[in-house]
Amino acid sequence: MIVEYVSFVIMSTVILTLCWFFVMRSHASVSYAQSLAGAPETHLTTLDNGLRVASEETGHATCTVGLWINAGSRYESEKNNGVGFFLEHMAFKGTKKHTQTALEQQVESMGAHLSAYTSREHTAYYMKTLAKDLPKAVELLSEVVQSCSLNEAEIEQQRGVVLRELEEIEGNSQEVCLDLLHATAFQGTPLGQSVLGPSKNARTLTRQDLVDYINSHYKAPRMVLSAAGGVNHEELVGLAKSHFSGVSFEYEGDAVPVLSPCRFTGSEIRMRDDALPLAHIAIAVEGASASSPDIVPLMVANSIIGSYDLTYGGGKNLSSRLAHLVAEENLCHSFQAFHSSYCDTGLLGIYFVVDKHNIEDMMHLCQNAWMNLCTAVTESDVARGKNALKASLVGQLNGTTPICDDIGRHTLNYGRRIPLAEWDARIDAVTPKMVRDICSKYIYDKCPAVAGVGPVEQLPDYNRMRSAMYWLRF
């Protein structure tokens, strides 16, 4: 009797386990497709003054709302470079309605997080808060953007803060290296300017410089009010009409700022410092613009090269060919393939951190990896790159803040938010021949831009690196 009971229990357990396995298996087999098909729609409305309102409702108890603006260091001149970054520091130091203390108390009482960032082409002010506090969040954001007090005493205080930040950035070799890469690749153009600007500008920028920058660039058609989380689009549109209808869409004297084209120049820049323990090197060619159809195959190509860090597991078993060789020979501390895309150009490159004795070998392997993309990429390489890219795109949208940022930037770049399902279809359409052809178009026999920081004595001569962009193909 006991044996029969035990057998019954075992059999029941096995049946339940199998049922659970097949249910989970069936769910897993369609979970990715279901997640794409079931992604909330992004709603977009344009106000009479040209300001766009875009939102995605997820039903969460929290939300992120913010204002994304087509303004950044690319819109600055050599004289006022850094003004956008300086203004970012001033944004939360009080408005005409709220002092800094009152503004901070308002945000704290909501349990919210208020932040901002400035890039080469965009500026964003955003707040993460409870969904029920959306109206208050939009009101505070409208004050921050439209009626920042720009108190003279506060400007002098923030001047010191900005200068300290500039000193800290100088100690970040990665930031310095990538800024130098832009400076040499886009020399003589606004894209070559740093987002933070030089210290001499931070010391001399005036209140009038900040006011002029706002009046020139903070225009309604160049703004997107973006939100994600527990938000209702119609409610958000109503709030936008209440708080942002007064944002001007006219330019003084019809002086509409027009971006000058940014010319790419194959060149190099070296900041040698033998006291640093490691060399930071970046090599790049001119990449595709944000709206170019070539951008997806280049994203797949970058995923094939991948990234590496000494702390990664896997070692010699890593699927990336470059990562496998680096781990096997212990050639560098880390590397990362990157593609910085702008409205009309881009930088396609590899950044790596390396011991001074391995610089030449690492540079050779990076350029060889590029040539392999042009000539020898296989079906399995592309399939792996596609999977890695899809996982990266989905993983980056983990939370209301990255979703809100994605909506804001996409609306500025493309005039709409590109859904994940569309990205997925465009990635699936990439073939090995497409990768080879497009990589040849951007990489083969092109003059690279190279930046090196640290003990870079063994960085090869530029002409050798330039010739490798041709000879490594054979």
- Angle between the N-to-C axes of helices 462-471 and 359-375, in degrees from 0 to 180, rounded to the nearest 10: 30
Residue 149, number of CB atoms within 10 A of its CB: 17
Q: Which of 376, 367, 219 is nearest to 281 (CA)?
A: 367
Angle at the Cα of 461 from the Cα atoms of 459 and 465, rounded to 5 degrees: 90
- The angle formed by the CA atoms of residues 186, 187 and 192, to the nearest 5 degrees, is 60
Nearest CA to 453 among 277, 309, 195? 277
Phi then psi for residue 279, to 5 deg, are -95, 140
Q: Can you name the residues that pair with 42 across neighbouring β-strands?
A: 56
C-beta of residue 339 within 8 angstroms of C-beta of residue 348? yes
Checking DSSP bridges between strand 334-341 and strand 42-46, what pairing results, if any?
Answer: unpaired
Q: Of residues 88, 121, 143, 286, which has the active-site annotation?
A: 88
**Would residue 88 show up in a list of annotated catalytic residues for this protein?**
yes
Cα distances from 40 to residues 63, 234, 417, 441, 473, in angstroms, run: 14, 15, 12, 37, 45
3-state DSSP helix/strand/coil % of the chain, to nearest 5: 55, 20, 30
Report the candidate in 446, 308, 284 with the shortest Cα–Cα distance to residue 363.
Answer: 284
Assess contact for 85 and 123: CB atoms under 8 A: no
How far is the C-alpha of 326 from the C-alpha of 282, rounded, in Å?
16
For residue 77, report the phi and psi dihedrals to the nearest 5 degrees: -100, 175
DSSP assignment of 383-430, as one string? HHHHHHHHHHHHHHT-SHHHHHHHHHHHHHHHSSPPPHHHHHHHHHT-
Tokens coding 356: 């001074």
Contacts of 444 (CB under 8 A, 6+ apart): 371, 374, 469, 470, 473
Helix locations, 39-186, DSSP H: 83-90, 100-109, 134-146, 152-170, 173-185
Active site residues: 88
